[in-house]
Structures are given as structure tokens and as C-alpha cells.
Structure 1
Amino acid sequence: MLVISRDVGEVITIGDDIQIHVLAVINGVVRFGVSAPREVPVHRTEVYARIKARQAQEPDE
């Protein structure tokens, strides 16, 4: 895991086409935005876990 510090307005780049923008830090809560191509799914972990659980329940076709 890479751990770095960024200030509001700064950006982290992942590969050639994904960017994490630090939008705000309020009372220790960090707000950030993700810029990625439409074909790259971006989900919060709890949402991703529900998607995977639902997929596991679906019968194979």
C-alpha cells in the first residue's frame, strides 16, 4: 500500500487515465473525486461487496 499526503487541490494519478482529486478536508474527513474512463468501474467498498454478492447469487448462464 502506498501512503501519501496531499493538500486540497492536489491530484494523485493512477496509470495513464485515473485521477484522484482532493476536494476538501473538513473536520478530518477527506472529500475526493475520481476521474476515470467510463469503462472503469468505480465503487465504494461496501457497494462493490454488494455487487459481488449479488453476482455470486445469480445462476450461471
Structure 2
Amino acid sequence: MLKAVNRVLLGLIGLGLFALGGGVLLGGLDLHRRRGFDVPGWWLFRGPDDVVMAATEVRTR
């Protein structure tokens, strides 16, 4: 039973990381503007000039 739970959790974590990587790739290659669709307001990466962590965020950590 514990092995099944571990595999499900690992699968969910992997799926989340895959989605996050796809979002970074989508923003980095500017695909949403090239393909003509809009991203939601909460979207983190809007274009290739955006940074993952700003300098002020790095300094506070």
C-alpha cells in the first residue's frame, strides 16, 4: 500500500514539474504571442524578457 502511495505522489510531483517547465518554455519562447492567444493575469512568465526571480527577491532570501 505504501509503495502505491509513493508512486502516486511521485507521479503528481512529476506532472507539476512538467507543467511548470512547460509554462517557462511557453514564456521563454514567446509562444502565446506568436500563436495569438492570451495568458491569464496570474501567469508568471509573460515573455522572454521576464525573469524567474527578480534581484530584489534574491536579495531578500
TM-score (norm 1): 0.32
Structure number with higher helix proportion: 2
Q: Which has the higher contact order (CA 8 A, sep 6+)?
A: 2
